[in-house]
Amino acid sequence: MKSEQLRNKILAADLAWIPLALAAEQSLRFGQHWGQNPLAPLSFIVYLVCTVFAWVLLSENMDLDGFRGGWRPSSLVSHLLLAVALLMVLLLAIESVSQRYVGRLRLSVFAPLLLLGFLAIRQLALRGVFRRHERGNVRRVVILGSGRLAMELAEKFNHHPELLCQVIGFLCPREEIPASRPVSEIPSAPDTVSTVDVIGLLRRQNVDELILAHTSTSSEILNLVALCRQHAIRVSLVPQPYELYLSRARLLDLGGLPLLQLEEKTEPAFAVIGKRLLDIVLALVFAVPALPILLFCAIALRFSKGRAFRWEDRVGLHGAPFSMLRLNVDHDSPNTSRFDRLLEHFSISELPQFWNVLRGDMSLVGPRPESPERACRYSAWQQERLSMKPGLTGLAQVHGLRDQHPSEDKTSHDLQYILHPSLLKDLSLLIETVWTLTLRLVHAFEGPGSAPVEPSKAAHMAYPGTHSFSEIYQHAHRTESGSD
């Protein structure tokens, strides 16, 4: 099943569920005698058509199938929750314009029914994908490469089970074997073969596809590609240099010569104004419930440390320096108190940054700002993070990356966000951030035995039947090629 077909089937199931959910809402209310008459047939048809039409548009603009941006339960729930909320706002607007009464109580029943049905549809779709993995109905993939790009590519396959691809190993010359994993830790000796025997190795492993994630295009690699095509092994490649992916790419066939055109992104003025207005409104909304918590913590820090807040130097939009406000918490000190660790773990120490958002130094969503000492060591690729105003939260943070993680890891996620910014994505990431913090709070009350799963382990637990990174890495050493 192709991923596009899967998305179309999910959308078709959504559209089939909408009239069922609306009919179920009518039946529940009529059966319970809740005091409102069922919708008239014409009103039923009007709201049904509007809901179907709106859901098609939302699905195309918000990646509501759950697979397109990589399967993550928190992202799926936040996207669907936001989409259903927008749908209810639209129905209320239609009510005020058309004078066809629907009622908030009716929508309060219809919305949860829709949400639960949409979640069930995607869970069934995921189970169907898993069954195909368990039956071995997948493409066996080998990646040619050994660096960061090869590892990132394998991780992305792990987050996209709907592609029905299983990374079984890596190919690389012996001298390019990463030194991060000693040979003594490998349970079995790696297969080392000459270049001319690589095809035999791929056929013995029943490889269906070879992906080139290598920076060089030597004659040996070109010969390997030709041999793969002769033996019906599909060949794919990642364009180099990969770091240029921040630009929108368009493939042009120039008389048989593939030409990858990189178009610079331009954000329209209305999007910038809309993002700023959203920042101001939501910062004021979030600041109201955050203020009592912030006051309590500030008073506690004032008595224990003598100072409640601190200003820290950060680098903002286009490299401009600014002072970021946060609670006076030592986040990298070995003598940090338990109270400080709690403030850091639940991101309470970052609440004063609502002030930076209102001042315009930061946005609610964007790349997290880093210190001048760290920013001055940015590569040209990492400096692209500075093309957008820094944020209170971002795509890297909902993936579990914090200040202590390498800038390179965070840059990969941040540039994905910068390439496709939207107000709907900002709202979804804010919902996902609240979801993440809520889960941390739940795990804290449940006790140490239910600690949150580390991000590096979460992918393997979320996708049974796929390889974890340690398993992929071990297999990679058993399928690498030696240079001739």
Task: Give average pLDDT by consecutive 10-residue segment, the chain, 484 residues.
Answer: 84 94 78 56 81 91 86 90 92 76 75 94 94 91 84 87 90 61 39 70 89 77 85 85 63 78 74 93 93 94 92 94 93 79 88 95 94 89 88 88 76 84 90 86 64 38 35 34 35
Residues 107 and 155 in one domain: no
Q: What is the CATH number of the domain that holds 241?
A: 3.40.50.20
What's the confidence (pLDDT) of residue 174? 63
Domain membership of residue 250 as a residue range: 138-265+461-478
Residue at which a domain ends, from 99, 114, 133: 133
Question: What are the CB-based long-range contacts (under 8 Å, 24+) for 21-27?
Answer: 21/110, 21/113, 21/114, 21/117, 22/47, 22/48, 22/51, 22/110, 24/113, 25/106, 25/109, 25/110, 25/113
What's the confidence (pLDDT) of residue 246? 59
Residue at which a domain ends, from 371, 394, 420: 420
Q: Note whether residue 219 is domain-resident.
A: yes
What's the confidence (pLDDT) of residue 182? 39
Residue at which a domain ends, from 111, 133, 155: 133
The residues pairing with 327 across neighbouring beta strands, listed in sequence order, are: 309
Q: Note whether residue 439 is domain-resident.
A: no
Terminal-to-terminal C-alpha distance of the chain:
39
What's the confidence (pLDDT) of residue 195? 60
What's the confidence (pLDDT) of residue 32? 52
Q: Note whether residue 229 is domain-resident.
A: yes
What's the confidence (pLDDT) of residue 276? 95
d(CA 51, CA 29): 20
Residues 259 and 291 in one domain: no
Q: Note whether residue 431 is domain-resident.
A: no
Q: Note whether residue 430 is domain-resident.
A: no
What's the confidence (pLDDT) of residue 468? 35
368 near 394, Cβ under 8 Å? Answer: yes
Residues 57 and 147 in one domain: no
Residues 323 and 291 in one domain: yes
Residues 322 and 407 in one domain: yes
Number of domains in the chain: 3
Residues 86 and 227 in one domain: no
Residues 104 and 142 in one domain: no
Q: Note whether residue 434 is domain-resident.
A: no
Q: Note whether residue 446 is domain-resident.
A: no
What's the confidence (pLDDT) of residue 449? 47
Amino acid at 168: I
